[in-house]
Amino acid sequence: MILCELCNKNPATVHLTEILHQNVRKEIHLCDECAKNKGVTFKSPLSEILSGVLDAAGKGLKELAELKCPQCGITYAEFRSRTRLGCPNDYVVFQGGLLPLLEKIHGATHHRGKVPSNTAVQAARPPEPDPDQKRDAAIEALESELDRLVKAEEYEKAAQVRDQIRTLKEQAG
């Protein structure tokens, strides 16, 4: 961990690099407080999103900020300033703050891609989606297949896929 070069007390969270000429670089490492005092401000999109989510959390904000991972020792406040978790256990410890954040960033809180069958991730998977979610996912997959078939000018197969989509949509009611 790098300490702030001005106060030598707090961890440096702002790292500035100035390129003077060709291969000569000047770096300075500051904590948030010293950076603000120097007039250095930087907002990443992720930190803006985090701020918005935490503002929305309101009441539970103080309890969330004081949470600490028993394995790596990172606090939620540290995660918020670094925008990086310390270990896999943090996802469980900070779940209350991470779920709204992930939903805001990705539009969902569950992974929808492939997962290797021989990993621990498989055991931690959320329960199967309800039938409506499965049907919606199937429709979405068929619609992308339909687009591919039309672009490839495979109109007979595209018509079959179109009919499958209609059937699924009719079942949805």
Tell me the per-residue pLDDT of 31-70, one tens digit each, with 9 for 90 and over.
888 888 887 766 555 555 556 555 555 545 567 667 788 8
Residues counted in the chain: 173
Instruction: Say if 19 falls within a structural domain.
Output: yes
Q: Are residues 94 and 149 in the same domain?
A: no
Instruction: Say if 145 falls within a structural domain.
Output: yes
Q: What confidence score (pLDDT) does residue 162 get?
A: 93
Instruction: Say if 122 falls within a structural domain.
Output: no
Q: What confidence score (pLDDT) does residue 53 get?
A: 55
Q: Are residues 28 and 17 in the same domain?
A: yes
Pick from 14, 42, 43: nearest CA to 28:
14
Residue numbers of the chain with a pLDDT score lower than 50? 59
Q: How many CA atoms lie within 13 A of 3 on its CB side?
A: 6
Q: Are residues 149 and 168 in the same domain?
A: yes
Measure the CA–CA gap between 159 and 161, rounded to whole angstroms. 5
Number of domains in the chain: 3
Instruction: Say if 120 falls within a structural domain.
Output: no
> What CATH number is given to the structural domain containing 22?
3.30.60
Q: Are residues 151 and 103 in the same domain?
A: no
Q: Are residues 99 and 63 in the same domain?
A: yes
Number of helices (H) and strands (E) in the chain: give both, helices first.
9, 2
Q: 22: domain range?
A: 1-42
User: Cβ–Cβ contacts within 10 Å for residue 59, how many?
Assistant: 7
Q: What confidence score (pLDDT) does residue 138 get?
A: 83
Orientation angle between helical segments 131-151 and 155-172, nearest 10 degrees = 160
Q: Are residues 81 and 36 in the same domain?
A: no
Instruction: Say if 115 falls within a structural domain.
Output: no
Instruction: Say if 13 falls within a structural domain.
Output: yes
Q: What confidence score (pLDDT) does residue 119 get?
A: 61
Q: Are residues 105 and 48 in the same domain?
A: yes
Instruction: Say if 123 falls within a structural domain.
Output: no
Residues in a beta bridge with 29 = 15
Q: What is the DSSP string of 50-117?
A: HHHHHHHHGGGHHHHHH-B-TTT--BHHHHHHHT--SSTTHHHHTHHHHHHHHHHHHS-SS--S---T
Q: Are residues 48 and 38 in the same domain?
A: no
Instruction: Say if 118 falls within a structural domain.
Output: no
